[in-house]
């Protein structure tokens, strides 16, 4: 049976494009002090534009997820038994790569520059992603165990959130830190909801939350990474040197954010695959 068309992916592409454009405009308008991360005093309404677009995106994801839940589109009808070995293996590989990105990012920043708390976060992130990736890759269809692994990843993001607050107590006026806060919260809620799915503790709103938190986290992360990349490619050398100086952390851990984003996007993609159901339907048709 053909599933109703989903509009979540189309809206997601539009939301990402709009967020990238607005974020890039903030950079070229130079309303952010790249040496401190704070908005300039003359930023005015510019400082709110990225948040407005992200807020509109979030509202759209909420509305579409609720509507498509009632329409029973592909995101909301796939059973756990339809997550075949290729789905789980694909997700597992992406999670393992995210774990590698945690280590790679830490090494890139210099392990000697990390304090004990930061080293603990590197260990927790690597362990959580390695555990979840290994379970999905090697222990096929052990759904409660997969759910626990996702809950461990949610706990890792909660720990990251706590560290973010402790290290950046003045966060609301710093654009990058606020975006990082949003992404961290959404990632934690995404893995919490995905964990409930696999632990068979799913409620009527669980998949709605998976779609909302997953797509919104990706939108915020991609808009930040892509806008900065476009800006840096066209920025003069003086600006690039300033952005890469030790004074600022303007450049986010792009590889880590990219790996985390790809892992979440892979999971959402697998939610739309119906390989087993298609094979079963074709077999039933031939039998008739």
- How far is Cα 220 from Cα 130, in angstroms, rounded to an integer? 25
Alpha carbon dihedral 28, 33, 37, 40, in 10-degree steps, equals -100
Taking the CB of residue 67, how many other CB atoms lie within 10 A of it?
A: 12
Q: What is the pLDDT of residues 233-246, one digit of tens each?
A: 776 665 656 555 54
Q: What is the pLDDT of residues 138-155, one digit of tens each?
A: 876 678 888 999 999 999
**pLDDT at residue 271, as a whole number:** 87
**pLDDT at residue 283, as a whole number:** 44
Q: Please tell me which residue, 184 or 245, carries the higher pLDDT value.
A: 184
Q: What is the pLDDT of residues 153-166, one digit of tens each?
A: 999 999 988 887 77
Q: Please tell me which residue, 164 or 18, carries the higher pLDDT value.
A: 18
Taking the CB of residue 264, how many other CB atoms lie within 10 A of it?
A: 26
**pLDDT at residue 171, as a whole number:** 55
Q: Is the model's pLDDT at 6 over the cut of 90?
A: no
- How far is Cα 53 from Cα 75, in angstroms, rounded to an integer? 24
- How far is Cα 90 from Cα 187, in angstroms, rounded to an integer? 19
Q: Are 57 and 257 in contact (CB under 8 A)?
A: no
Residue spans of alpha helices (H) in the chain? 8-28, 46-71, 85-109, 116-138, 143-167, 175-198, 206-234, 237-243, 254-270, 275-287
Q: Is the model's pLDDT at 66 over the cut of 80?
A: yes
- How far is Cα 239 from Cα 134, in angstroms, rounded to an integer? 42
**pLDDT at residue 231, as a whole number:** 82
Q: How far apart are the first and last CA of the chain?
A: 16
Q: Please tell me which residue, 142 or 275, carries the higher pLDDT value.
A: 142
Of 51-65, 131-145, 169-183, 196-210, the poorest mean pLDDT is in 169-183
Task: Give the rounded percent of residues in the chain with a pLDDT score beyond 70.
Answer: 80
**pLDDT at residue 112, as a whole number:** 62
Q: Is the model's pLDDT at 71 over the cut of 50?
A: yes
- How far is Cα 37 from Cα 25, in angstroms, rounded to an integer? 16
């Amino acid at each position: 049976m053909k599933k109703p068309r989903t509009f979540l992916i189309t809206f997601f592409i539009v939301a990402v494009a709009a967020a990238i454009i607005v974020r890039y405009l903030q950079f070229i308008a130079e309303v952010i002090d790249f040496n401190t991360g704070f908005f300039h005093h003359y930023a005015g309404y510019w400082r709110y534009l990225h948040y407005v677009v992200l807020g509109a995106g979030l509202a759209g994801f909420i509305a579409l997820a609720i509507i498509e839940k009632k329409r029973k589109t592909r995101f909301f009808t796939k059973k756990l038994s339809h997550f075949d070995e290729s789905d789980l293996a694909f997700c597992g590989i992406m999670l393992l790569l995210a774990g590698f990105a945690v280590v790679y990012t830490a090494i890139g920043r210099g392990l000697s520059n990390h304090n004990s708390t930061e080293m603990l976060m590197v260990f927790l992130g690597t362990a959580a992603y390695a555990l979840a990736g290994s379970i999905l890759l090697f222990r096929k269809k052990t759904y409660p165990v997969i759910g626990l692994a996702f809950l461990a990843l949610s706990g890792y993001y909660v720990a990251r959130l706590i560290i973010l607050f402790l290290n950046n107590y003045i966060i609301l006026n710093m654009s990058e830190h606020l975006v990082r806060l949003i992404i961290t919260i959404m990632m934690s809620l995404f893995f919490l909801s995905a964990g409930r799915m696999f632990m068979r503790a799913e409620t009527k709103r669980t998949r709605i939350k998976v779609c909302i938190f997953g797509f919104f986290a990706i939108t915020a992360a991609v808009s930040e990474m892509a806008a900065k990349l476009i800006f840096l490619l066209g920025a003069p050398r003086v600006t690039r040197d300033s952005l890469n100086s030790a004074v600022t952390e303007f450049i986010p851990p792009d590889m880590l954010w990219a790996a985390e984003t790809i892992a979440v996007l892979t999971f959402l993609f697998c939610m739309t695959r119906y390989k087993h159901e298609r094979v079963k339907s074709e077999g039933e048709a031939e039998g008739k």
